Amino acid sequence: MDAKITKARIGHMLSYDWIKIVALCAIAVVVWILLFTTLAPRATEGQKLEVYVYPNVDVDSQAFGGLDKLHREGALSYNALDYSVNELTDESVSVVLPAHFGAGQGDIMFVSSYRYDSGQKDEEGNAVMTSDLEKFVSGYVGNCVWLGGEAQHPFASGANANTQDYLGGCGAYLGRYFPDGLEGALDRQAAEEDFRARIGGDNRYKTEEQTLAGIEDECARLEALRDAYLRVCGYLKDGTISVTKLEMQMETGEDENGDGVVDSSDVQTVEVYFSFDLSDVPGLENLIATDRSEEGTTTAQSVNMVILNTRLQEECARYEQVTYLDYIVRESARLADLAA
C-alpha cells in the first residue's frame, strides 16, 4: 500500500477536509478555555483588592507595581488573588461609584481632605467650605469603615463589620491566633483548623500536599498581618499617620430647631472618623499625591486613605488593607531614601 505523503495528497485532503480541520481546532481551543477556567483559582470578592482614586489624586501605579510585586513585598497576602486600581475623573465618579459600590466592590479609596470653596453661601453670606473627603463620605457613609476607636459610630443602625472600629477588630481577630499576646507565638493549631474549615471549594487545595503548603502560607499570612498591625499602631502613636476628624450633619428624629415639626432640617453636628491621613508619611509623594493645594501644586499633603466595604468580605480577607497601609509607609520611606 502506497502511504507516502505528497504535496498532491495534502492538497487533496485540504481541499475536502479543511472544514473538519478548522472545526477540530476550534473544539480544541474551546476545551482548553473550559479547562483553564474550571481549574484556575476563582477569586471571591474578599480575595480581590480594588483601589479607587478620587479625582485630583494621582497614584503612581508603576511605583506600586502589580500583584506579583505586592505579594513579594508583603503588601498583600497569598490570599489576595486579584488587584486593580481605578482612577476616577470628575465625569466618571458619579457613575462608577454607585454602580461598583452597589455590586459590593471597593476596598480602598484615596481622596484629598484639602478644604476649598464649594461655591455656595451660608445664611450669612459666607463661603461654604468643603473637601473631596467630606463629599465622598457624606455620599457613601455606609461604605466607609469606622476608624473612631472607642467612639461610637453615630450613623450605625445595626452592628456590622463597617460600624465596628477597624483596627480594634483586626486586633481582636489576631488575638484568636496569638493567645499569649501579639508579641507571642502563633497558635498553629488554631490557624490550621480555621484554614481547613474554610477552603472547601477552593481548587488550589485538592490534595493534602497542597493543603499542607497552604497551611504554611496561612501561618505566614497571620504573622505578617500581626507585624503590620503592630507597625500601623506605632505609626498612629508617633504621628506618621493619623485619623481624620470630620464634622457631619445627622438627622436626629427630634425637634432640634424648636419649630414644632420634625423634618430634615432637624440635624445635629457629629464628629466622625472614616479615613487615615497620610500627609506626614515621609516620601509619600513618590507613591500618591494630589493637586488639591493652596497653590494648585502637586503635594502629598491632605492625601487620605478610606477603607471600604469590609462587611461583605470573609473575615480572613478583611484586613489586607492593614498590610497595604503598612507597605505604603515602608515603601514611601524606601523611595525617599533612594531619592536623597
Position 124 scores a pLDDT of 78
22 and 91 in a single domain? The answer is no
34 and 58 in a single domain? The answer is no
99 and 23 in a single domain? The answer is no
pLDDT in tens, the chain (340 residues): 555 666 665 555 555 454 555 545 555 554 444 444 444 456 677 789 999 999 999 999 999 999 999 999 999 999 999 999 999 999 999 999 999 999 989 999 999 999 998 888 877 778 888 999 999 999 999 999 999 999 988 887 666 888 899 999 999 999 999 999 999 999 999 999 999 999 988 889 999 999 999 999 999 999 999 999 999 999 999 999 999 999 988 766 665 666 767 666 767 888 999 999 999 999 999 999 999 998 888 999 999 999 998 877 889 999 999 999 999 999 999 999 988 7
Question: Residue 20: which region, alpha, beta or left (left: phi > 0; alpha: psi -120 to 50)?
Answer: alpha
User: Domain range spanning residue 20?
Assistant: 1-40
User: What is the rounded CA–CA span in Å between residue 47 and residue 165?
Assistant: 21
pTM (2 decimals)? 0.85
53 and 30 in a single domain? The answer is no
Q: Provide Rg for the chain, Cα atoms.
A: 26
- Structural domain count of the chain: 2
Q: What angle do CA 141, 61, 52 make, to 5 degrees?
A: 15
User: What is the rounded CA–CA span in Å between residue 199 and residue 197?
Assistant: 6
User: What is the rounded CA–CA span in Å between residue 155 and residue 142?
Assistant: 8
241 and 105 in a single domain? The answer is yes
Helix segments in the chain, DSSP class H: 7-39, 61-64, 67-72, 93-102, 132-139, 166-175, 188-198, 208-238, 320-339
25 and 123 in a single domain? The answer is no
167 and 238 in a single domain? The answer is yes
22 and 110 in a single domain? The answer is no
6 and 66 in a single domain? The answer is no
User: Measuring CA to CA, how many Å separate 239 from each of 25, 30, 110, 232, 276?
Assistant: 62, 56, 19, 10, 11
